[in-house]
Amino acid sequence: MEVCLWLITSDRVFNPKQEYIMPVVRVSWFEGKEHAQKAAVAAEITESIVKNTGTPAEYIYVIFEDVAPSDWAGAGKLFGETPATP
């Protein structure tokens, strides 16, 4: 039985057995995207990294973080809040 250890850091994955540094791309966006949308985005991100760095696709990871609008703020205001009417 072979055990493979993966260490995950904020921006890369390191596989001690193979000694590869592998890109990890995190996509944070509002929840509600469909599976097909995520698949298309993951494919395009992977293709771009392969094309621009030569990293084999099997070593590229894309992680989707679906965030509720009420859990994300911009300019000091939560996106899930309805603006007050004057």
Residue 6: pLDDT over 70: no
Number of domains in the chain: 1
Domain containing residue 55: 7-66
Alpha carbon separation from 36 to 1, 6, 45 (Å, rounded) = 35, 27, 14
The answer to the question of residue 73 being in a domain is: no
- The answer to whether 25 touches 57, Cβ cutoff 8 Å, is no
Place of tokens 């990890």: 24
Determine the Cα–Cα distance for residues 54 and 13; give it in Å rounded to an integer: 17
Determine the Cα–Cα distance for residues 62 and 24; give it in Å rounded to an integer: 6
The pLDDT value given to residue 33:
93
**Catalytically annotated residues:** 23
CA atoms within 13 A on the CB side of 68: 4
What is the pLDDT of the chain when averaged over all its residues? 79
Q: What is the rounded average pLDDT of the residues 70-74?
A: 89
The answer to the question of residue 85 being in a domain is: no
Please, which pLDDT band fits residue 59 given cuts at 50, 70 and 90?
confident
Percent of the chain with pLDDT over 90: 36
CATH number at residue 62: 3.30.429.10
